[in-house]
Structure formats: C-alpha cells, structure tokens
C-alpha cells in the first residue's frame, strides 16, 4: 500500500491547504474572477488565478524562471519539512520527482515572442523555461536530488498519471519517497486554443447545468509526498486507459473512462458502492458532462454523491488531476462536507443521465473518494483515495 504523508497546494481557492479547505467548505473561490488581456478579441473573461506574491527563483536557477515553477515552489513550501526529513533519512538518490504539466513556461515564451515582434529586448527568456520537462528538472535540482525525475504531459490527466507513476517507482524499489504533482499557469495559447474549439466559457463555468457552454481555465499547483510507510490517507487504487477515439472528444459510450474506473476499483479490491464520493472531471463542456454522467450512471447509479470542483478552481489543465486528488485528500483528512454543484445560475440539465450530483453539502459517509481525470485523446486516469481506520 502507498500512502500520502504530506500535501501542498495553491490555486484560485487559496494559497495554502488550510485556506483552500476553508474556502472549499464555504464554496468561495477568491481567484475566480474576470481578467483582461488573455482572450483575443474579447475585453475580458473569467479565469481562475492565483492571487498574491509567489516565491522568487534565485539567480542560480535563472534558466528555470517561470510562473509555473514559482507555483511549484509555493506548493513545496507547505511540505518542505517532510521533504527535508525524507532527504536526510533516505538520501538524495532515493527521492523521485514526477510531475505533470500542459504548458510549463509557455507564457514566458509567448511574452518573449511579443517582445521580439515589437523590436524589444527579451534578456530574461531562455528556451528551457518552456520545455515540458522543466518542472521536474527544476524541482529536483532545487532540492538537490539525484533520484528519478521526469515530467508527464498527457493534457488534463498529466498530474493524475504522475501520481500513478510515483506509486510505481516506490513499488518497483526505484525510490523510497516520491514527490508527485503538477502545475499549469494561465497562458494565451491554451486559452485561445480552447476558444477556437468553442469549448471556452467567457463566464464562470457551470458543470452539469442546463446552461453550460464550456470550461473556465485556471492555474495552480499541488504536490504530494508518497511513501510506503502507513499514514492516515492511502492511495487505494489507480486506473488508466486510452480511448484513441478522437483528438478532443470523449468516446461516445465512455468506454475508456469506464475501463479506468473499473481498473481503480479492482486495484483497490473495492465495489462501486464502497465509494463515498466521486470528484468528477466535470469540465462543463456539452460532451464531457454528457458522457461522464452516463459513465457514472452505468457504474454507480444514483447512489454515490458526486460533483465537479472546477467552478472553484477553474480547469487547471495538466495540474487538474493532482489538484482534485489533493482536494479529495483534504476532504478525507479534515472530514469536510462534500462540495455541491453550483446550480444558482442554471438548473441541473434534465437531459443528462441520472447520477448522484450533489445539490447541497452533505457529510462523507464512506471514507473512500474516487477522482477522475479524462483528457484529450481519450487519455483517462482514475485515482482512489481512502482514510485508513
């Protein structure tokens, strides 16, 4: 069994796990607001941003100076004592770093191109800032580690797969501790890319609502420390699959999503009715919510409470899997009420297959949570977390 010994996170809900837990309970996200300058031909749109100052990256890491890596440092600061103790105990070559991202430092690259187009100097930019492998390379170097370090980029399932990979490294004996997670930053490229696909909402997203029209993009980072030594929260099971059905649309019967969930349940030795809550991928696009509702209906019926938290964090792309797994861990750790879906602006879509979408907070009655991440290209990952009794 693999366990979670520490977690740190930062997103539109807040700048620490404690602040995020409090705001998740209140259903309030200070960073979800209208912002200018991101969407072409639009004066403003709603995005999930991280507010306040971020840690500085020192001169010796100039090649890694990106907002993405600053978000990682903010998450790292929350788990630093546990990481430091692990390095002292196990050694720098026995700590793995596995991260997920979709954009890395792409925003810095975008700003560099704008400077060049306008005939301006761009002295701070280096290509490594936007390389997809940079987050793990940076964090491993920052901590002085020599163990396995790599970055996964499978769109919205990236950091969920980082969790899965970290578990495998420990089970294979290649690491004693795995620091897993991910980060993604607001960037014009994915924002305008989703807009060109007619999948972006300029207002706050409305998962599973009749009036839903697309995603709200957010930024954030989260890190977990995985260990084989018993802790209060366990990584019970994982599942993953690839549809290869369509580059941006889910399989019409949700075949790959079903396989990933079934794998996670089988891996954990659990049945569907053992699950106490499902954190849905819930992007608020027409197809995602339709297919995910069908998948949950077919596997769980209406008995398991479920909701998407993306109206509180935005869709954090490559960081979504770790963000939502970390929110699930906070619910288990602090016995938080389950977050309801927001139907204040539009009712539940009556055309969706019936499942247990929450319309009001309620307690977690079975301490096992399933967190789903379903990405472009049908790249699916499901994570089961549970409280150890």
Task: Delimit the domains of the chain by residue range.
Answer: 2-387
Angle, in degrees to the nearest 10, between helices 106-117 and 67-90: 140
- Band of pLDDT at residue 361, cut at 50, 70 and 90: very high
Q: Which residues pair with 239 in a beta bridge?
A: 382
Residue 205, pLDDT > 90, answer yes
Structure tokens at 35: 């912002």
Q: For 243-281, what is each residue's pLDDT tens digit?
A: 887 776 777 787 899 999 999 999 999 999 999 999 999
- Band of pLDDT at residue 5, cut at 50, 70 and 90: very high
Strand 368-375 to 379-387 pairing: antiparallel
C-alpha to C-alpha distance for 107 and 190, rounded to whole angstroms: 10
C-alpha to C-alpha distance for 345 and 347, rounded to whole angstroms: 7
Q: What is the pTM of this model?
A: 0.96
Closest by Cα among 232, 228, 254 to 241: 254
**Which pLDDT score, from 0 to 100, does residue 278 have?**
98
Show which residues are catalytic. Answer: 156, 281, 315
C-alpha to C-alpha distance for 346 and 129, rounded to whole angstroms: 41
**Which pLDDT score, from 0 to 100, does residue 42 have?**
85
**Which pLDDT score, from 0 to 100, does residue 41 have?**
86
Let me know if 37 is exposed, middle or buried by CB neighbors in 10 A (0-12, 13-18, 19+): exposed
Percent of the chain with pLDDT over 70: 100
Closest by Cα among 208, 181, 182, 205 to 194: 205
**Which pLDDT score, from 0 to 100, does residue 230 have?**
97
154 close to 161: Cβ distance less than 8 angstroms: yes
- Band of pLDDT at residue 102, cut at 50, 70 and 90: very high
Q: If DSSP codes are grouped into helix, strand and coil, which group holds residue 12?
A: coil
Q: For 138-177, what is each residue's pLDDT tens digit?
A: 999 999 999 999 999 998 999 999 999 999 999 999 999 9
**Which pLDDT score, from 0 to 100, does residue 11 have?**
98
122 compared with 369, residue with greater pLDDT: 369
C-alpha to C-alpha distance for 316 and 184, rounded to whole angstroms: 6
In the chain, DSSP finds a helix count (H) and a strand count (E) of 10, 13
**Which pLDDT score, from 0 to 100, does residue 253 have?**
80
- Band of pLDDT at residue 235, cut at 50, 70 and 90: very high
Closest by Cα among 338, 345, 335 to 360: 338
CATH class of 2-387: alpha beta
Q: For 42-101, what is each residue's pLDDT tens digit?
A: 889 999 999 999 999 999 999 999 999 999 999 999 999 999 999 999 999 999 999 999
Sign of CA dihedral 72, 74, 77, 82: negative
Beta strands in the chain (DSSP E): 2-10, 32-35, 45-48, 95-100, 149-152, 177-184, 220-227, 233-242, 277-279, 305-307, 356-357, 368-375, 379-387
125 compared with 227, residue with greater pLDDT: 227
Other CB atoms closer than 10 Å to residue 124's CB: what's the count? 12
Residue 200, pLDDT > 80, answer yes
Sign of CA dihedral 182, 186, 187, 190: positive
**Which pLDDT score, from 0 to 100, does residue 86 have?**
98
C-alpha to C-alpha distance for 13 and 257, rounded to whole angstroms: 27
Residue 373, pLDDT > 80, answer yes
C-alpha to C-alpha distance for 240 and 251, rounded to whole angstroms: 15
- What value does the mean pLDDT of the chain take? 95
Could you identify the residue written with the tokens 């500085």? 56
24 close to 327: Cβ distance less than 8 angstroms: yes
278 close to 384: Cβ distance less than 8 angstroms: no
- Band of pLDDT at residue 103, cut at 50, 70 and 90: very high
**Which pLDDT score, from 0 to 100, does residue 389 have?**
73
Closest by Cα among 203, 189, 210, 184 to 315: 184
């Amino acid at each position: 069994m693999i366990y979670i010994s520490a977690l740190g996170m930062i997103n539109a809900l807040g700048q620490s796990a404690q602040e995020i837990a409090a705001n998740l309970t209140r259903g309030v996200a200070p960073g979800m607001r209208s912002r200018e300058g991101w969407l072409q031909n639009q004066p403003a749109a709603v995005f999930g941003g991280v507010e306040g100052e971020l840690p500085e990256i020192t001169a010796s890491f100039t090649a890694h100076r990106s907002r993405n890596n600053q978000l990682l440092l903010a998450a790292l600061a929350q788990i630093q004592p546990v990481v430091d103790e692990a390095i002292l105990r196990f050694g720098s070559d026995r700590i793995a770093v596995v991260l997920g991202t979709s954009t890395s430092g792409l925003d810095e690259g975008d700003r560099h191109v704008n400077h060049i187009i306008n005939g301006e100097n761009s002295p701070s930019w280096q290509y490594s800032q936007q390389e997809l492998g940079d987050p793990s390379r940076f964090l491993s170097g920052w901590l002085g580690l020599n163990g396995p370090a790599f970055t996964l980029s499978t769109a919205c399932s990236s950091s969920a797969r980082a969790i899965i990979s970290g578990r495998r490294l420990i089970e294979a004996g290649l690491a004693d501790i795995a620091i897993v997670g991910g980060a993604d930053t607001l960037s014009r490229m994915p924002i305008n890319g989703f807009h060109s696909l007619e999948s972006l909402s300029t207002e706050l997203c409305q998962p599973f609502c009749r009036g839903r029209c697309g995603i709200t993009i957010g930024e954030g980072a989260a890190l977990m420390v995985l260990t084989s030594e018993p802790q209060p929260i366990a990584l019970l099971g994982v599942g993953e699959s690839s549809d290869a059905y369509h580059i941006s649309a889910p399989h019409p019967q949700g075949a790959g999503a079903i396989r990933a969930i079934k794998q996670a349940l089988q891996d954990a030795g659990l049945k569907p009715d053992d699950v106490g809550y499902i954190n849905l991928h819930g992007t608020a696009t027409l197809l995602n919510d339709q297919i995910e509702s069908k998948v949950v209906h077919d596997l769980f019926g209406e008995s398991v409470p479920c909701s998407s938290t993306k109206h509180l964090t935005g869709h954090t792309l490559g960081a979504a899997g770790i963000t939502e797994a970390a929110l699930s861990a906070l619910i288990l750790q602090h016995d938080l009420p389950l977050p309801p879906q927001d139907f204040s602006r539009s009712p539940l879509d009556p055309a969706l297959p019936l499942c247990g979408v929450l319309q009001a907070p309620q307690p977690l009655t079975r301490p096992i949570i399933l967190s789903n991440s379903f990405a472009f290209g049908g790249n699916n990952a499901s994570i089961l977390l549970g409280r150890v009794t």
